[in-house]
């Protein structure tokens, strides 16, 4: 863990990351004795957004979109997660953003899964670890609106339906862990998705629920719980 934050904040971030890795290893059946990343995961934390965007420009030769609040990047021998500390008054928190990116980096190391799935798992863990963070209440409100207005599955999986895949992915993962398979179902779903199985078919294989029933049950649950 390195960056431009005070040492005590860097140390605290390291503990958050280690706890997140333990949760992910449990959820996805990964032995903590085995390395997750080639080399190690490096976490870069920045005191402000300008430092964060400058880092991406220098190291990755790219501009970071304004809405992006953190990302992970794979290099030949290592992987890093980069996160800026949110400004005062932001609904997001450093803890939540860090947990999200550690989760995304973990899932990326296991194979190729859709961005909505990776973001959804990351935000699920972040919302659990930092339940008072306003950003996750905002995400749930957006999911509730999508569920109230139409078909949230179409909004997530169909390119023409609109909706933020990262937000809806969080809503879907949040719903799936309430089903009988619980968290274990996510590991099985990830395995199906890595086979390039269409997401709705992968969910049907793992959870035994077809697309129409998924849309209905997820929408009803979101409207009631969110």
- The string of DSSP codes covering the chain is -EESS-HHHHHHHHHHHHHHHHHHHHHHT--TTS-SSSS-EEEEEESSHHHHHHHHHHHH--PPPTT---EEEE-SS-EEEEEEPPPTT-S--HHHHHHHHHHHHHHHHH----HHHHHHHHHHHHHHHSTT-HHHHHHHHHHHHHHHHS-HHHHHH-GGG---HHHHHHHHHHHHTTSTTTTHHHHHHHHHHHTT--HHHHHHHHH---HHHHHHHHHHHHHHH-
- Express each pLDDT in 168-189 by its tens digit: 999 999 999 999 999 999 999 9
Q: What is the mean pLDDT of residues 66-92?
A: 93
Whole-number pLDDT of residue 29: 87
Residue 160 has pLDDT above 70, yes or no: no
pTM of the model: 0.94
Question: Which residues does residue 84 pair with via DSSP β-bridges, in sequence order?
Answer: 46
In the chain, % of residues over pLDDT 90: 87
pLDDT digits (tens, 9 = 90+) for 1-20: 999 999 999 999 999 999 99
pLDDT in tens, 191-208: 999 999 999 999 999 999
Q: Judging by beta carbons within 10 Å of its beta carbon (0-12, 13-18, 19+), is residue 62 exposed, middle or buried? A: exposed
What is the pLDDT at residue 161?
A: 62
pLDDT of residue 33: 74
Look at residues 131, 119, 133, 210 and name the one whose alpha carbon lies nearest to residue 173: 119
pLDDT of residue 6: 97
Q: pLDDT tens, 91-117?
A: 999 999 999 999 999 999 999 999 999
Average predicted confidence (pLDDT) for the chain: 94
Amino acid 203: pLDDT: 97
The answer, yes or no, to whether residue 120 has pLDDT greater than 70, is: yes
Q: What is the pLDDT of residues 19-70, one digit of tens each?
A: 999 999 999 988 777 888 877 899 999 999 999 999 999 999 999 999 999 9
Please, are residues 86 and 69 in contact by the beta-carbon 8 Å criterion?
Answer: yes
Which has the closest alpha carbon to 86: 126, 140, 114, 144?
126
For residue 119, which of 87, 149, 156, 85 has the smallest C-alpha distance? Answer: 156
pLDDT attached to residue 36? 87
Q: State how far the Cα of 86 lies from the Cα of 135, in Å rounded to an integer.
A: 11
pLDDT score for 149:
82
């Amino acid at each position: 863990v390195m960056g431009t934050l005070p040492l005590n904040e860097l140390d605290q971030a390291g503990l958050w990351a280690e706890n997140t890795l333990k949760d992910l290893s449990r959820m996805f059946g990964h032995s903590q004795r085995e390395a997750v990343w080639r080399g190690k995961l490096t976490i870069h934390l920045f005191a402000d957004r300008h430092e964060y965007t400058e880092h991406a420009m220098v190291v990755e030769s790219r501009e970071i979109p304004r809405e992006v609040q953190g990302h992970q990047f794979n290099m030949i021998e290592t992987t890093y997660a980069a996160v800026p500390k949110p400004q005062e008054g932001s609904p997001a928190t450093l803890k939540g953003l860090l947990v999200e990116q550690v989760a995304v980096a973990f899932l990326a190391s296991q194979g190729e899964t859709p961005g909505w799935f990776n973001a959804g798992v990351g935000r699920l863990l972040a919302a659990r670890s930092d339940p008072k963070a306003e950003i996750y209440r905002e995400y749930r409100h957006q999911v509730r609106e999508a569920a109230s207005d139409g078909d949230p599955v179409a909004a997530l999986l169909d390119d023409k339906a609109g909706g933020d895949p990262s937000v809806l992915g969080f809503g879907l993962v949040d719903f799936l862990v309430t089903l009988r398979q619980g968290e274990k179902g996510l590991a099985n779903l990830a395995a199906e998705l890595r086979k390039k199985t269409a997401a709705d078919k992968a969910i049907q294989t793992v959870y035994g629920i077809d697309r129409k029933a998924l849309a209905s049950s997820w929408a009803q649950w979101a409207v009631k719980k969110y």
